[in-house]
Amino acid sequence: MAAAIYLASSKPSSSPPCLPLPRRPSSPPPSSTLLLSGRGDRRGTVAVLLAGGVAALAAAASAQALPVGSPAIDALSSLQEPENALSLPTWAIHVSSVIEWVSAMALVWEYGEKSGLQTWKGLCWGMVPLLGGAFCACTWHFFYNSESLEVLVALQSALTVLGNITMCFAAYRIYKASQEGSTSS
Q: Residue 163: inside a domain, yes or no?
A: yes
Q: Residue 180: inside a domain, yes or no?
A: yes
**Reported pTM:** 0.60
Domain total in the chain: 1
Question: Which residue range is the domain that position 132 belongs to?
Answer: 41-66+88-185
Q: 173 or 27: whose pLDDT is higher?
A: 173
Q: Residue 176: inside a domain, yes or no?
A: yes
| Alpha-carbon distance values, 18 to 7, 49, 62, 112, 182 (Å) | 11, 28, 45, 16, 11
* Chain segment 50-105, per-residue pLDDT in tens: 777 666 666 655 555 555 566 766 666 667 778 888 999 999 999 999 999 999 99
What's the rounded Cα separation, in Å, for the pair 104 and 95? 14
Q: Residue 13: inside a domain, yes or no?
A: no
Give residues with Cβ within 8 angstroms of 128, minimum separation 6.
Answer: 105, 163, 166
Q: Residue 16: inside a domain, yes or no?
A: no
Q: 14 or 154: whose pLDDT is higher?
A: 154
Q: Residue 72: inside a domain, yes or no?
A: no
Q: Residue 93: inside a domain, yes or no?
A: yes
Q: Residue 113: inside a domain, yes or no?
A: yes
| Alpha-carbon distance values, 26 to 90, 106, 108, 114, 148 (Å) | 44, 21, 21, 12, 55
